Structure 1
Amino acid sequence: MNSNRNPTRRPFLPALGTVLLVACTGAAQAANFTMYRDPSCGCCEAWAAHMRHGEKHEVETIDHPDMASVKTGNGVPDDLRSCHTMIADGYVIEGHVPAADVERLLAERSDWVQGLAVAGMPLGSPGMEAGGRVQPYEVIAFGNGRREVFASYP
């Protein structure tokens, strides 16, 4: 485990009847991610495909009937919530965050960041490309009562 990470950050993994362990074994190998989604949401699978790009990341998808509990348990602020929540090497990734931003977060290992979020479901964000329309959006880093714009898109 990287010493620059906040050792008190513990992701909430909802009870699913089995224990699920997710590990990142190093920069040279693919990172493993677990994405929780509402079973009725279709864009989540498109976002998971974006995260798998080139099979660099393995994304396990878990349909969960109570996404509010997943988000609350992982400290996602109400105003930053979206349709799916991913745990990536101890960080919370909420919504349609681009893969490049997740990779940057994992490389930088900020002490204060608990996760990244794209609130809502902005058109043109990864997984929401259908129709060719694009809305501007921001990726917000959050944690320890703090927020910062991590990245901005048109």
Structure 2
Amino acid sequence: MTTLKSKLHDDLIAAIRARDELRTSTLRLTLSAITTEEVSGKSARELSDDEVQKVIAREAKKRREAAEAFANGGRAEQAERERAEGELLGEYLPQQLTDDELQQIVARAVDEAKADGAEGPRAMGAVMKKVNPQVAGRAEGGRVAATVKRLLAG
């Protein structure tokens, strides 16, 4: 069975051979972040595919935030590079939920919470508890929270 980490490593070797500088540097940084995570506890350990996916998602989010910061600072070239790195990392993540799919999942959870007697802003925690396992890795937390707030307010 091929792990996600070994796939990243194989893709890095292929990128080096193909002289694909963007893919090479992005995968190197990501593998480095994974290694850092593996040795960060009391004892070194191998990360599971789910944990590797979380590291990749975190790295992709960093790229999106950096791209936004560079774009706002008038540095279009750097913003484009960060965006390209983020998209490249996205290839290793599960398919992200569309706004409609996310809204349907959250709407069901809001209905369930209301059936359990939780309503309004106070129901936020209850709804998030129901939604998070269903959307794990397929929608960013901020996006989920914004959708929950909007549907609870409405």
The structure with the largest helix share of the pair is 2
- Fold in common (TM above 0.5): no
> Taking CA–CA contacts closer than 8 Å with sequence separation of 6 or more, which of the two structures ends up with the larger relative contact order?
1
TM-score range, shorter chain: under 0.3
TM-score, scaled to structure 2: 0.24
**Higher gyration radius (CA):** 2
Q: Which structure: greater strand fraction?
A: 1
